[in-house]
Amino acid sequence: MAMGLVAGPKVDHAPSGVYAPGKFCCTKCPKTFVGKDGLRRHMQQHTGRFSYWCDQCQRGFTVKCNYTGHMAKHEGRTFPCDLCDKRFQSLRGFQKHYTEHQS
């Protein structure tokens, strides 16, 4: 008995990852996003509202302190203070310390 492996007409999709339905394209650069939310957050990058930008989750930050703490979360590391040599285990501890530099 033949297994009937003839699977009908080949569907000629574009290579996955290049285009998929449900993706949202940025009108100002070639980036695409899976969710509307991701695109909306990304668009803020073009407005120049934020000085610091996380490329991994499309979040903007106005102050470096928050950005540094956020990036440390992605890296799963301790929070290094860039104004001195101290490191902190928690974002809260780091932020508290950082504000002390600013006062």
Round to whole Å and give the CA distance between 1 and 78. 63
Residue 56 in contact with Zn ion, rule: CB under 5 A: yes
Which of 20, 25, 34, 57 forms a contact with Zn ion (CB under 5 A)?
Answer: 57
Q: Does 29 bind Zn ion (CB under 5 A)?
A: yes
Task: Reduce the secondary structure of 59-85 to three states and give it as a string.
Answer: EEECCHHHHHHHHHHHHCCCEECCCCC
Q: Which of 38, 50, 66, 81 binds Zn ion (CB under 5 A)?
A: 81
CA 50, chain centre distance (Å): 14
Nearer to Zn ion, 86 or 92 (CB): 86
Q: How far is the CB of 21 from Zn ion (least distance, A)?
A: 20
Nearer Cβ to Zn ion (20/56): 56
CA of 89: how far to CAs of 14, 31, 61, 65, 80, in Å? 45, 34, 21, 15, 9
Sites of contact with Zn ion (CB under 5 A): 26, 28-29, 31, 54, 56-57, 81, 83-84, 86
